[in-house]
Structure 1
Amino acid sequence: MWLIDQRAEQAISQARREGLFDHLSGAGRPQQLEDDSLVPAHLRAGYRLLKNAGYLPPELEARKEYLRLTDLLAATEHHTEREKLERDLRRLEILLGERFRELPVALTQRVLHVRKTSGPA
């Protein structure tokens, strides 16, 4: 499992144990997968345009690069090239670790905000 996935799963599990998901509006109903309600209204049109044009947020670009480096590393037999790819992969892992260190805190704060504004179902 990828680092960001692990951190998100940990934060979700903790929030579930603490009951932060109890009584949320929409509980028991299917999610709207194209929901952009978390994007500020003044940015939605721009984000949708970028998404439709194939641009990814920096986090997903980094994940795409991580997967590309992993695939290259698996296919490379030359020792010098493997060392370079391993260095690049480690640099990217460090960058991603620093960038997403605050993810569990941000997720918990968002859940608390949603719970506070939606109230009991």
Structure 2
Amino acid sequence: MHTIIETIAEAKIREAIEKGALDNLPGKGKPLKLEDLSRIPEEFRAGYILLKNGGYIPEEMALQNKIFHYRQLIDQCCDVSEKETLKKELSYLNLKHSLLMEKRKRQSIK
């Protein structure tokens, strides 16, 4: 069962297709570029996309991206010495992220 809004939207889409308004759109026939947002909490995804498209990523998100990247590097690393260096850097990034989140929490309480 469709709502009135869904029915109107579908009618408008059908009308646009019949008129050819959806022909020759940029990117037609090309795959969509989907970004993996699985490491970003669902409630922050819309805001993250808006900020990213605007050229700004909050420091905590940039740190989360680095942490994710370092975890992948550690998982794929075979050299023991290099792995230890990566783990130290990851530990530093985790600490930096934790301190930043604590700071944000204190700021929101004020």
Could you tell me the TM-score, scaled by structure 2's length?
A: 0.48
Structure with more contact order per residue of length (Cα contacts < 8 Å, sep ≥ 6): 1
> Greater CA radius of gyration, 1 or 2?
2
